[in-house]
Amino acid sequence: MSQVSIEQDVIEDIAGGEFERTPVPKSKLKGWKSFIGMYAGEHAAGTEFMIGPLFLTAGVSAFDLIIGLLIGNLLAVLSWRFLTAEIAIKNRLTLYFQLEKICGKKLVTGYNLANGILFCFLAGSMITVSATAVGIPFNMPMPKLTDTMPNGATWIIIVILIGAVISIIAARGYDMVTKAANLMSPIIVIAFLACGIVALNQLGVTSFSDFWNIWGEGSEPFPGQIKFTFWHVVIWSWFANGAMHIGMSDLSVFRFAKKAKAGWATAAGMYVGHYMAWIAAALLYAVYLKSPEALTFLSNGDAPPVAPGPLAYNAIGVFGIIAVVLAGWTTANPTIYRAGLAFQAILPKLSTAKVTLLAGAIATLAGLFPAFAMKLLGFVALYGFILAPFGAIIVFEHFFHKKVGIIKNYAEAANLSFNKSVFWAWAISFGVFYFISVQFDVFLSFVTLPAWILCGVLFLVFSKKFQKQTK
C-alpha cells in the first residue's frame, strides 16, 4: 500500500517544486506512462510485508483473499481514474491549495495537523518493520502480534538508531529521498516476487489447488484479531488508500497528467503491490506457521509473531533482510518528509529540516511501540476514515455546485479563513459513523463510504443555507 502516495514526489521530481499555488501549465504535463513506475514502486513497500501476513491472522479463506483483493483493488483504481484524475486535470491544483480555496486557511491547518500526525504513526510502523530485520544478527526477540510496548533494550536501541538515520536523511531534502527510493523500488519488487516463489516451494505447492488450499475455507482469527470475511477484504483493500483517491490527496499527483486516463496507471500499484506483494508476504507467513516455533505459540493459545525480517530471511536469506530494511526505509523516509511539510504549514517559522526532524522524532517514538505495525489493518482503516471525507467536499462541490446553486471555492470568494459548512459536514459525518462503529462493533472500513457520502451531502446542504444567509 502506500501507504500514502507521495504528492511531493511528482512535485519535486517532475516539476522541481513549482506550481504549488498555481495551475500546472501545459508544458509540464506528463503522459500516463510517467505514472506507472511511481505507483508500482510506491505500493510495493514496507507496509506490504506487514499487511499480507495480517490477512492470515484474520482467518481469511482463499476465495476471500484472492477474489476479494481482485475486486477491492479494481474499485480503488476506478476511484482514482473517475474521481481523482478527473478532477485533477480540470483544476490542476494541489490538494492543499484546493482545500484552502474551499475551507479557508485555519481549517486547512487542522487538516495538516491530523495528516502530519497520522503520517508519523505510519512512518513509525515502518521503522518497526525495518527493526525486525536489523535485529536478526543480534538475536533480538521479535515483537509478538499482541505486543504494544517495547520488548527490551535491544529493540529500543535499534529502533532509535534506525529512526535517527531515516530522519536525518529525510531532513536533507526530498531530492535525495526520491532518487534513492527510485533505485530501491525495483529491488523490493523483485524481492517480493522471489519471496513468493520460494515460499510456494517451501509449502510444496505444485498445482493451483495446492495454492488455493493454503488458505482453504479460512480459519478462526488469531487471538486479538478480528475475523475477515470476503467483504472485509474487498472494502478494506478499496479504502486502504482511501485518503489518496476518494480523499483526493492524489490531486497533487494527477494535476500533472495530460488526460484523466492517467488514472489507470494506479493499477500498476494495486496489482503489483496490493495484490502480488500482499499474497507473497502472506505466503511467507504461511511457511512460518508450519514451523515448530509457531506451532508452540498456537498450542499455547497465543498468536505467532508477525516479524517481516525473519520471514523474508527464512525465504531468501540476507537478500531478504536487505529487502525488508529497504522497504521500510523507502516508506518511512518520504512519509516523515511529508509529515514535516504538513507541520511546516502550522509552524512556518521553522525550517523544513527542523520540522522534518520533529516529525522523525515523533515517528521514532511511535516505532518503539509495535502496536502501530501489528494493528496496521485497523490503523489504515482509521486513517482513511478520518481523512477521506475531506475529499468528498471537493468531489461534491466539483460535480454538484451548479445544480445546487452554491458558489465554488467559497472561502476564497468570500475571504473566509474558516468555512463552517465544511467543518460541520465533516464533524457530523465523522461523529455519527464513528459512534456506529464503536457502538455496534462495525469495522471502520465499512462505514468509510457512508461517512464520505454524508459529508458531501451535508456540505452541499450547509453551503446552500450558509451562503444564502451571508449574501
Higher per-residue pLDDT: 319 or 303: 319
Helices (H), 249-370: 251-254, 266-271, 278-288, 292-299, 308-316, 318-346, 352-367
What would the mean pLDDT of 83-91 be, rounded to a whole number?
94
CA–CA separation, 2 and 45 (whole Å) = 7
Q: What is the pLDDT of residue 16?
A: 38
CATH number of the domain at 35-380, please? Answer: 1.10.4160.10
Residue 426 in grid coordinates: 465533516
How does pLDDT run across 210-243, given as a tens digit for each residue? 999 999 998 999 887 889 999 999 999 999 989 8
Name 142's Cβ contacts closer than 8 Å, sequence gap at least 6: 132, 135, 305, 307, 309, 310
Q: What is the pLDDT of residue 21?
A: 67
Higher per-residue pLDDT: 73 or 32: 73
Q: What is the pLDDT of residue 214?
A: 93
Given pLDDT bands bounded at 50, 70 and 90, which one contains residue 461?
very high
Higher per-residue pLDDT: 44 or 16: 44
Residue listed under C-alpha cell 443555507: 465
Res 173 pLDDT > 80? no
User: Which neighbouring-strand residues pair with 30?
Assistant: 257
3-state SS track over 368-413: CCCHHHHCHHHHHHHHHHHHHHHHHHHHHHHHHHHHHCCCCCHHHH
Using CA atoms, how far residue 136 sits from 258, 343, 442, in Å, is 47, 34, 38
What would the mean pLDDT of 258-277 be, rounded to a whole number?
92
Percent of all residues in the chain with a pLDDT value above 70, rounded to a whole number: 92
Higher per-residue pLDDT: 174 or 111: 111
Higher per-residue pLDDT: 10 or 112: 112
Percent of all residues in the chain with a pLDDT value above 90, rounded to a whole number: 54
What would the mean pLDDT of 431-448 be, rounded to a whole number?
95
Residue 424, H or E segment: helix 420-439
How does pLDDT run across 24-51, given as a tens digit for each residue? 777 778 887 778 877 876 787 778 888 9
Res 18 pLDDT > 80? no
Residue 112 in grid coordinates: 495538516
What would the mean pLDDT of 342-354 be, rounded to a whole number?
80
Q: What is the pLDDT of residue 181?
A: 60
Q: What is the pLDDT of residue 288?
A: 92
What would the mean pLDDT of 380-389 be, rounded to a whole number?
92
Res 14 pLDDT > 70? no
CA–CA separation, 247 and 452 (whole Å) = 9
Q: What is the pLDDT of residue 470?
A: 63
What would the mean pLDDT of 418-428 be, rounded to a whole number?
96
Q: What is the pLDDT of residue 132?
A: 92
Per-chain mean pLDDT for the chain: 87
Using CA atoms, how far residue 232 sits from 57, 237, 279, 441, in Å, is 13, 8, 16, 13
In whole angstroms, what separates CA 246 from the centre of its chain? 13
Q: What is the pLDDT of residue 10?
A: 42
Q: What is the pLDDT of residue 62?
A: 96
First to last CA, the chain: 45
Q: What is the pLDDT of residue 4?
A: 40
Res 465 pLDDT > 50? yes
CA–CA separation, 166 and 164 (whole Å) = 6
Domain boundaries, the chain: 35-380
Residue 267 in grid coordinates: 493499477
